[in-house]
Amino acid sequence: MSEKIASTDYPIHELLAQRWSPYEFEDRPVSEADLCSLFEAARWAASSYNEQPWSYIIATKDNPKQFAKLLSCLVDANQIWAKNAPAIALGIVKLKFTHNNQDNRCAIHDLGLASANLVVEAMARGIYVHQMGGILPDKARDLFNIPDGFEAWTGMAIGYHGNAIALPDAMKERDSIPRQRKPLPQFVFSENWGNPSPLVQK
């Protein structure tokens, strides 16, 4: 499914090893059934108090007007490549709990969990998702009438990995280089901050 399999230090599920975020997308649609399954996976994510503080706004190229509207909520650098994807979406977060109207400090974390579920379900179907922080939240609020207490937080492009010839060379190069990650001792600690846990010491 992917030519950029993660080189892991410990075994992980193959879908996680295969997951990456391409800039290049093939010019073919993702079926409505597959898109619904992606958001169904997001629906069943864990969340604090089962608040489910996430919402998504999606547009596909089947509706060019809506697609252009949603695309305009991405920063220019992301529009360059995301316009080639057959579907794009915004992740919206509700910042307060419904049951007491207090700040939900887990809300953004929980949106991330929902989107992670979506991404893994996508990989199981041979679909790639490129998430992005480069969006225009205020423009999204205006164009989509997002109410107070909710905020557009992330964007995502959804589709099949392809070969976008018109992309800038830097983006093509990034799609071709091996994936890199920090080693576990740099972020799994015990006893004191910065002290690698014996679990991950080799």
Q: Mean pLDDT in runs of 10 for the chain (202 residues)?
A: 80 95 94 98 98 98 98 97 97 97 98 98 98 98 98 98 80 85 95 95 76
Residue 2 confidence (pLDDT): 46
Dihedral sign of CA atoms 147, 153, 155, 156 in order? negative
pTM reported for the whole predicted model: 0.94
CATH of region 14-167, choose from 3.40.109.10, 3.50.50.60, 3.40.640.10, 1.10.150.300: 3.40.109.10
- Token pair of 98, please? 């419904």
The pLDDT score that the predictor gives to residue 202 is: 67
- Alpha carbon distances (Å) from 186 to 38, 194, 197, 201: 32, 7, 10, 10
From residue 191, alpha-carbon distances to 185, 195, 196, 198, 202 in Å are 13, 7, 9, 10, 18
d(CA 155, CA 82): 10
Domain map (residue ranges) of the chain: 14-167
Q: What's the CA gap between 81 and 84, in Å, rounded?
A: 6
Compute φ and ψ for 49, nearest 5 degrees: 55, 20
